[in-house]
Amino acid sequence: MTQTVEMPLWLLLLILLFAGVTFASHFLFPSVRWFFRRRLEKAVARLNERLERPIQPFKLARRYDMIQRMIYDPQVSQAIADHARAEGIPENVAFESAKRYAREIVPSFSASAYFGFAIRAARFLSNSLYRVRLGHSDDEALRAIDPEATVVFVMNHRSNMDYVLVTYLAAERSALSYAVGEWARVWPLSRLIRAMGAYFIRRKSRNELYRKVLACYVRLSTEAGVTQAMFPEGGLSLSGALMPPKLGLLKYIVDGFDAKGRDVVFVPVALNYDRVLEDRILIDAAQGEGRRFNARIGVITWQLFRQIGLRAIGRYHRFGYAAVSFGTPVSLRRFQAGHTGDVTRALARDLMRGIGEIVPVLPVPLVAWLILRNGPMTRAEVELGFSEVLREHASAHIHMPRHNRDYAAEVGLRHLTGRHVLIEENGVFVPAADQADVLKFYANSIRHIMLPGDETDSAPAKGNSAPAGS
């Protein structure tokens, strides 16, 4: 036992390396993980003291544990067996597919990333680009929501800025869990978005096994009380108008709902802008084939540096107003009690109607609407048109900057002439020959308010062909 053993130096170093790794994995790493876990729990406890809706333990669960829980869920296990039988493949191959889908969907929420970075970035970006205003808000009804209920913010989708604005304005309420589409699955953006609690969805997937895995995640997160945000229209509106709802995620929530358990409360949220950053891209997409959003990274980078340059030389101006309204909450338990059978379609119509009623009417959309309806107008005629709209649509949520009708008309005209959408000729504002589509895009955002029943009331809800998300 005391004899000397000779060995090559490289072998000694290799043995020491393996010993070090074993020590770290069995003793050091668990201690470090425990230390940081304790710090995280304390930080979340402090955050929960100031949030209206505390962060649920479900969001803080280890991602690995969440994936395991999903793939061994009885409904997913049955879907794996059905998929294997339908495709004629071994069940272990179908199991690996389900596991891959779960890894793709499940986020890895980080409270420090969300509240330490995302909220600050959202606040800075929102106020740098727009004059942000909170439109209508049914505060009394929002405060009356059962603290144990799962809250789902249901929003119209005008721009990718929607995520940023609502994250910023809901910062004091809770951390939101978004469903985001394929556009966000780009490294390193995907890591940040996953850390902020968002989960990825394939909007056009026809794979039944994938749908079962996604439905399982939505059901588990809803049962756990996670505050969520979703876009029932499924994607960005190419026309600027409210689009018919898709039923994917909404149906997953309804199908997994237990009336005897935790209630689910939907909060309609409506957004509108004086300028949608992607407006011309969306208009081009509407005129072309398909509905792809083809914003190239080079174009986005160029615009970013251009705005930085304008700010540096003092010529930067914000893109007008951006407004968000929060409507009256809808309890799923109460809604089901008043309907028979599958309530998904009726609920979708009711939520879209609630969103449409509170869409903020901003200066640019209102000027665009007046010019399209009346043709070329003088400044005085536009101001009179504002007065007419205020009188005829007293229940609409019309934002008048500085509470001044004339200034609001000036804001709308200035933005549209500055972008060469309108041309001033001898005191008369005339649409530019090649910019009619831009005017229609902004006017469409308030068309359902100006002409009630013309679009949204008659728009049928789309079937469950794809999950609604981003």
* Secondary structure (H, E, C), 283-301: HHHHHCCCCCCCCCHHHHH
Cβ 368 vs Cβ 429: under 8 Å: no
CATH code of 104-277+319-358, in short, is: 3.40.1130.10
The CA distance from 420 to 432, in Å, is: 7
Q: In 3D, which of 198, 207, 185 has the Cα closest to residue 231?
A: 198
- The architecture that CATH gives domain 363-444 is Orthogonal Bundle (1.10)
The CA distance from 211 to 251, in Å, is: 11
* Per-residue confidence (pLDDT) for residue 24, from 0 to 100: 62
Cβ 445 vs Cβ 231: under 8 Å: no
Rg from Cα positions in the chain: 26
Crossing angle of helices 363-374 and 379-392, in 10° steps, is: 100
Tokens of 265: 């409360």
Cβ 309 vs Cβ 120: under 8 Å: no
Cβ 198 vs Cβ 104: under 8 Å: no
Reduced to 3 states, what is the DSSP secondary structure of residue 62?
Answer: coil
Which residues does 330 contact at the CB level (< 8 Å), separation at least 6?
265, 266, 267, 268, 347, 350, 351, 354
Cite the residue boundaries of each domain of the chain with CATH code 1.10.10.10: 363-444
Cβ-based neighbour number of residue 311 at 10 Å: 12
Give the residue carrying structure tokens 């804001």: 411
* Per-residue confidence (pLDDT) for residue 156, from 0 to 100: 95
Q: Which H/E stretch holds residue 228?
A: strand 228-230
For 392, half-sphere exposure in the C-beta direction (CA atoms, 13 angstrom radius) is: 10
Cβ-based neighbour number of residue 115 at 10 Å: 18
Q: Cis (ω within 30 of 0) for the bond into 329?
A: no
* Per-residue confidence (pLDDT) for residue 387, from 0 to 100: 95
Helix boundaries (H) for 313-456: 332-337, 344-357, 363-374, 379-392, 405-418, 436-444, 447-450
Q: What is the pLDDT along the chain (470 residues), one digit of tens a residue?
A: 667 777 787 777 887 787 776 766 655 555 555 454 555 556 556 655 656 666 667 766 778 888 999 999 999 999 999 999 999 999 999 999 999 999 989 888 877 778 778 888 888 889 988 999 988 888 899 889 998 999 999 999 999 889 889 888 887 777 788 888 766 665 555 666 777 778 888 877 778 999 999 999 999 999 999 999 999 998 889 999 999 999 889 999 999 999 899 999 999 999 999 999 889 889 988 887 544 554 455 555 566 667 667 667 776 778 999 999 999 999 999 999 988 888 999 999 999 999 999 999 999 999 999 999 999 999 999 999 999 999 999 989 999 999 999 999 999 999 999 999 999 999 999 999 889 999 999 999 999 999 886 554 334 445 544 455 54
Residues β-bridged to residue 277: none
User: What Cα–Cα distance (Å) separates residue 419 from each residue in 2, 275, 313?
Assistant: 88, 10, 20
Reduced to 3 states, what is the DSSP secondary structure of residue 93?
Answer: helix
Q: In 3D, which of 219, 380, 401 has the Cα closest to residue 321?
A: 401
The sign of the torsion formed by the CA atoms of 368, 374, 375, 377 equals negative
Cite the residue boundaries of each domain of the chain with CATH code 3.40.1130.10: 104-277+319-358
Which residues does 443 contact at the CB level (< 8 Å), separation at least 6?
240, 365, 368, 369, 372
